[in-house]
Chain A
């Protein structure tokens, strides 16, 4: 700003020829306004979501059977008998997300490094779109895959008595597979975008390919990789059909990954698709769950942003 004003002052003082004066460019202003409007759409979306969730949640929290303190502190969610403690649902969401991240983040990043730093461009050009298109398989299919393939596999490995037919581990692992393409594809983009000069500098110093990849390219691409990770975690928290089918449909407060537990999204989709009347408290409760979910992802995002800022490296 400072340079702009002084430059303008300079122009005025020297009475330069008119064609050098800053032109009014209405098109530029128009474009900028349009671009701002594009950014603002996301704000409007959020306002809409908060409005929709807020008004219905208000109905829920206003009803005499619900107490906000109880909602946030107790560990039993049985709406049919008036027990509303959000923790079983939150806990199950965190467990499935953790499992998904255990699969998707390391495998996704490692695949991305391989694709970007080792694989030939032919391999990359074929594998990458294939992985991405798999993200288009309806998640209900992944859900059945978890139930009819992953769960039996886990039961075979760990024993039928230990692993229940619905369990958070199976749902989480398959969710990891679902998210894997997202992580690997976005990370690969970020790694590929690191200027070649950086790699060449590292090689010139005698670094091996691994050292270059891990100590130079990955840090340089960290911003993009973190963005991929944040999107992946957000997607896992919000994923619905897999957990609805494979994680179980009864809210349960358990830390055992081989037991069934219903996640927040699973509960929302189950109640909204059922035969329950729309003017029951059970139905209102799902908006409150949605609001909590919204706040949870918000906090998650704030934390990951803070981390990203700390480790981000900017190269030219």
Chain B
């Protein structure tokens, strides 16, 4: 602005329309100063916000990586025979070790799958390492500590766990993504939770997006100005403030109980197991979350539609378009960026919800993959919540890694919406 205003000042005569030149210059300086000051303040606000959120992310990253002290139940050295190290033992020797140390039940299962003697040596060695040596994490340190105080961690570990060795562990690793949940933090994963979260969110979006945009169009374009419309409008704003756990109770009453035949899949014969017919399924969870995010979606879409200038509509009508044609071809494309903002916020909100899902019936321990909208499920936040409440530090590391997974998932899910918004987002004339 400032650069642009100076050439004009040079052209001006002694007195202008606005008063004495010196006076104008002074007031301009002051106004620009104030402008710069506020600009700095606005930037500072943004930076404060970003710093606060970075602190949060840092807290999560700090827990997701770091040194761990690993102890083995039986050290590989103790399993060496006659000076031959564990890695080089023969098949028979490995089988003997398994027979000796592995519990009866597990052995029975392993033998039922394939007799031990017929297995490859590599496979047996893997089994010995997993089942007999049993590495176990006894303590973990944060990323910051691992990087900055490595020396003192080493001495602390040597003193407290003389038989343990230190290693750097990324809690976020391929196994973590591909394994189901477990009570042992070393092998626990989030596979079931990721699938459950995805299924749930897809149903949520499929239901909430058309409903939300539809409601917004109705309210902005069609609704007559009458008490009913006002009621709907107030009601939507009000629903945005209802605590999520109450939506959970609503979901329990309507989707789990009243609409059970629908949500358990019984109406299409999609029942997974007839002895356990109940409505605590992905379907119920998705529908509950859809109700939860609906107000957020509607309000955003409404604001976006309202911001579309009336002249656009009038131009459409003047050309003889019907109301719906105007809405579909002119209003909606122009309102899309705002609608997508609402969608992104809604997806984020729905992905992070815990309380309503616990009420609706997310399982805390479940190791089989959901096979459709009518199966029982768990979601990432439910796992995260459950892990943070555990006494052992290792579970909190898992929780942090799971949060990173959740964020990555959100970014992928929202990528399309973000790109579309950036493309359509342009200043209206």
**Docked-complex contact A208 and B45, CB < 8 angstroms:** no
- Check: A255 CB closer than 8 A to any chain B CB: no
Q: Is B153 an interface residue (CB 8 A)?
A: no
Q: Which residues of B contact A74 (CB under 8 A)?
A: none
A52 touches B253 (CB 8 A): yes
Which segment, of B70-78, B119-127, B178-186, B351-359, faces chain A?
Answer: B351-359
Number of chain A interface residues as a range: 35 or more
Main secondary structure of the interface of B (DSSP, over half): helix
Shortest C-beta distance, B43 to chain A (Å), equals: 5
Contacts of B5 in A (CB 8 A): 206
Judge whether A136 and B349 touch: CB under 8 Å.
Answer: yes
Instruction: Name B396's closest neighbour in chain A (CB-CB).
Output: A144
Binds B, one of A7-15, A58-66, A81-89, A182-190: A182-190
A115-129 vs B, CB cutoff 8 Å, 1 = contact: the mask equals 101100000010101
Q: Kindly state whether residue A307 has any CB partner on chain B within 8 Å.
A: no
Q: A43 near B246 (CB under 8 angstroms)?
A: no
Residues in B with CB closer than 8 Å to A257 are none
Q: Which residue of A has the minimal Cβ distance to B34?
A: A210
- Report the minimum CB–CB distance from A251 to chain B (whole Å): 17
A52 to B256, CA, bound (A): 13
Listed by A's residue number, 22 A-B pairs whose Cβ atoms lie within 8 Å are A32-B218, A36-B218, A36-B223, A38-B214, A42-B239, A42-B298, A43-B232, A52-B249, A125-B422, A131-B50, A133-B348, A136-B406, A136-B410, A138-B381, A186-B300, A186-B345, A193-B338, A224-B307, A238-B243, A301-B238, A304-B237, A305-B234
Interfacial residues of chain B within 289-331, with CB under 8 A of chain A in the complex = 291, 294-296, 298-300, 302-304, 306-307, 309-311, 322-324
Residue among A36, A136, A237 with max Cβ neighbours from chain B (10 Å): A136
Indicate whether B210 reaches chain A with its CB closer than 8 angstroms.
yes
Q: Is the interface of A mostly helix, strand, loop or mixed?
A: helix
- The answer to whether A108 and B49 have CB atoms under 8 Å apart is yes
Question: Which bracket fits the contact residues of B?
Answer: 35 or more
Which residues from chain A sit less than 8 Å from chain B, CB to CB? 25, 27-28, 31-32, 34-43, 45-46, 48-49, 51-53, 106-108, 110-111, 113-115, 117-118, 125, 127, 129, 131-142, 144-145, 148-149, 177, 180-182, 184-186, 189-190, 192-197, 203, 206, 208-211, 214, 223-224, 227, 230-231, 233-235, 237-241, 264-265, 268-269, 272-273, 287, 290, 293-294, 297-298, 300-302, 304-305, 316
B residues near A (Cβ < 8 Å) are: 1, 5, 31-32, 34-35, 38-39, 41-46, 48-50, 52-53, 55-57, 59-60, 210-215, 217-219, 222-223, 231-232, 234-247, 249-250, 253-254, 291, 294-296, 298-300, 302-304, 306-307, 309-311, 322-324, 337-338, 341, 344-345, 347-349, 351-355, 358-359, 380-381, 384-385, 388, 399, 403, 406-407, 410-411, 414, 418, 422, 425, 427-429
